[in-house]
Structure 1
Amino acid sequence: MAKNSIQPWANGTGSNRMTDAAYQRWDKSHGFEKGTASSEEANTLWATNSLVASAFGQFAADGSGTDVTTDMGRDQLVDAFKAALTQFINMGTGVPGSVVPVGSPIPWPKDEAPKGWLLMEGQSTDGFPVLKQLYGDRLPDMRGQFIRGCEQGRAVLSTQDDQIKAHEHDKGSLSTSEAGGHTPSGKTAPAGEHFHNYDRQTSERTEDGGGFDDGYKKRVFNEPAETSVEPAHEHELVMEAVDPHIHPVTGNTGSFGGNETRPRNIAFNYIVRAA
């Protein structure tokens, strides 16, 4: 573990320094008066500043892995602090307690991902070892997808197709309104001028042998015939009267809805911290 050599001044028990209450009452706006600074006042001032410097140095050493010493240059200390801050906000190693772990999907209101992030469009995780460890060979394609909390018995990162929960609709008592007693009636459609074909029965004489007064036989048979031509007309239809009644309605309702099941929503892109 990297060390931090910047230690707080006069931080031990019983140190020669002012109490916090006395320090708060002390007028610090003009600094020490010439020739009047006491060791207690000086120790308190150095202790306050060195405490902040020590905490800063410890953060830089722990997060960067670089030793923070009293003889390092300012630029070195700044670099160590930047590295520690990067580590803290998890730009690469997934430190517990960091702001956003690598691999976390985040809604993003732009079509381009910011630096260090990737749009989640099913692309390869090659070159991103942490993402490969979390997601496998490819990122999920989050376009048109919702995230759902993983319930017991379901695998993390498993997918589901859209679905409507099985249910029934009560048939109720749907029917037509009561029509009352009535006699259905109406007319046929006009047929226009026309005639009807039919077969008529007729007879004729054959050879001698009786049947007619003159002694000839009679032969009876059917022959095609036509009625006389009737002008265009229609036929009246009158049915037997019926009592008041209703008619039941059967069958299915018509199709309703679109091509998918979805809640009300707003579109964002999902991005993931890449490294």
Structure 2
Amino acid sequence: MILGFGNNIVSALAGDITTVQTDIPVMPGTGAKFAKLLSADFENKSNTQHVYAKITLTDKKESAFEICHLVSVSGDVLNVIRGQEGTTPKGWYLNDVVANFATRGSENHFVQISQLQSGHYVAGVAGGTANSLTLELPAAFFVNGGAEWTLRAPLIVFPVQNNTGAATLQLTLGGRVLGKFPLLKGNKSQLVAGDILKNVPLVCILDNTKAYFSVLNPSDIYLGSRYLQKENNLSDIPDKQQALVNLGLSGVVANLYPVGAPIPWPSDALPDGGYAFMYGQAFDKSAYPLLARAHPSGIIPDMRGWTIKGKPAGRAVLSQEMDGNKAHGHTARALETDLGTKTTSHFDYGTKTTSEDGEHVHEFGGRVWSYWGDSNHLSLHVGSGEWTKAGGRHVHTINIGGHVHTVWIGPHGHVVIVDQDGNPETTVKNIAFNYIVRLA
């Protein structure tokens, strides 16, 4: 970068110099004035550039000139690069003039406002072919014949034809070819046919490794065919799922609520954004791969009338369990009481008689004891149709009288039958929601 443009410092040689001498002595005390020419009033610390000032060697009559680039100053000795701007190094003598005269070269290094506004240094019409563009721009990047260069400003390239595929740009600055660079668009991808349109300017920015140019406005952006229109609220993204992946949001969205998990929904109308009721229907596993991971059968479970239960050990995921109560028994008893001893009602039966009966007769014979001689004898006389007189009829009188009976009841229980009660199936206190599932 050239500094010290002006006509404000004049000194003289403090001795003779040869044609190849690069350290030039000047009159005592004037070296400090030349050193000030190498101090910049404005500095960009992130963009270090070589600085120099132009000085001129001439005789007292100003009949000959040599332009030099002042690189550094040490005391009253100037370190220079000889023979610049087409001048030839020559021998100079004591008291010859050394000054910072304005030169054609120094004037060319100061940009005019009209040049900035016209893009004189950063814009140009491309040459070359459809896919191998060239661009030549003026520059003062190469200081004192060096090879270092810096380009941080965007370049505006006006193509003269449409491209038919991947493209490159050969850049020439200040007459020096810097290289042939690929032209890349988003995600460092190659251009395709039609990305460059005739007379449609390209904004090209060199990456910090100087390996390629990023093209910020290929034809799709210029024509608006791939602009996201604000009024469309992102509905014009052709592949929304891939867009989420590219933005690194696919995992975040999925984790907000896992695809395949039932979602309670308080409406009979589905929400926007890809949801389905869980009615036991089939789904396309290729269209919804995340849902297929949760339900590899390709069937969405029918959640109507079902609740969700944490899976016990040993039970299969998505297995069904019918309603029922835990096995149990009931005991029931009537209120126990001691009824004690009870009596029947009192009744007086009075005196009762039996029926009149008992009359009868007896048949009989006879026997006679007799004593005959010295022996005792029993004489029998067997009856033959002889009967006693009938008799014996009688009755009995029985006094029953008033009396009661005692009955022992004592403490005891009863079998109790409990009647059925409750709902047709086992339920808990609940509010009805629809179960829905995300489709993804």
Query: What TM-score comes out, normalization by structure 1 length?
Result: 0.45
Structure with larger Rg? 2
Where relative contact order (Cα < 8 A, 6+ residues apart) is larger, the structure is 1
